[in-house]
Amino acid sequence: MSVALIAHDEKKADLIEFATEHSAILEHYDLIATGTTGKKLMEATGLDIERKASGPLGGDMQIGAEVASNECEAVIFLRDPLTAQPHEPDISALLRICDVHDIPLATNLASADAVLDGLTKDEN
């Protein structure tokens, strides 16, 4: 099972910091990410991440397909609610597919912490 990591441009630094702080947990999962986010995360953290297409090219939809195929255990999508750009992934479809398949989706750092806490409790 994988954990997906996505971030709007203005939240990529926050996701890198989050992944760095939680690398000991994240390294136990198959990680997937949209293209640019995945590249930046790998460069900053050394985590092994399968990169999908960039968000504007459908990477978020590729991740949605993994959710629909029951291959993704959780999604962390740090979105910028105030200044998201038109080229950035839209959370609506991903949120819908996560709700349909009962997959947790975190949209901010507090909920991302809660999702990781839940994943680690499920393992124990």
pLDDT tens for 19-40 read 999 999 999 999 999 999 999 9
- 48 catalytic? Reply is no
Q: Is residue 39 within 8 Å of residue 12, measured between CB atoms?
A: no
Q: List the CATH code of the domain at 2-123.
A: 3.40.50.1380
Radius of gyration of the chain (CA): 13
Find the catalytic residue in 48, 60, 117, 122: 60
Domains of the chain: which residue ranges? Answer: 2-123
Q: Which of 81, 79, 77, 88 is nearest to 112 (CA)?
A: 77
Binding-site annotation, residues for substrate:
8, 12, 34-37, 54-55, 87
The pTM for the full model equals 0.93
- Residues 79-90 have pLDDT tens digits of 988 876 766 667
